[in-house]
Amino acid sequence: MNPANSELLLFLRSSPSVRAASASSVKQGLYAGSGAVAGGLLLGPVGGMVGGVAGSVYGWWRSPSYDGCLKIVSTLPPAQQEALLREVSAVLVSAGAAAGSLEGTGGMAAALAGYASRPEVRDQIWGAVLASASE
């Protein structure tokens, strides 16, 4: 599979809805993170929690309405949905997921949640997103 022509990267690059969701999510994350850091510096751990919640609410208030990637993917034609699912499954299997554990929506969601917490998997996904955004 040529990474430059992968269905996932083409989807991330060419979809205005995904770009809007990505930009808004990053902005909201920055507000939440900034609030947590400021609150933590001022008031310690409780301040970090309160600042994170306050930053999250402020980020939500400031953000335009957008659809998440799951809703965007659900509007794709079935053939493109299947291609994306195969690619995401391949990434998870290469990271160590058992192919049988990816059966059904629950299995895929559990695998995504589990492997997204691993820094090396997160770094690979983030690198692919940055590479596609810079083209």
The model's pLDDT over 78-120, given as tens digits with 9 standing for 90+, comes to 887 777 777 776 776 666 655 555 555 566 666 666 766 777 7
As a whole-number percent, the residues of the chain with pLDDT over 90 amount to 22
Q: How does DSSP assign 29-84, residue by residue?
A: HHHHHHHHHHHHHHHSHHHHHHHHHHHHHHHHHHSPP---HHHHHHTS-HHHHHHH
Render pLDDT for 32-46 as a digit per residue (tens, 0 to 9).
999 999 999 999 999
pTM of the model: 0.55
Amino acid at 82: E
pLDDT in tens, 4-37: 456 666 776 677 887 888 888 889 999 999 999 9
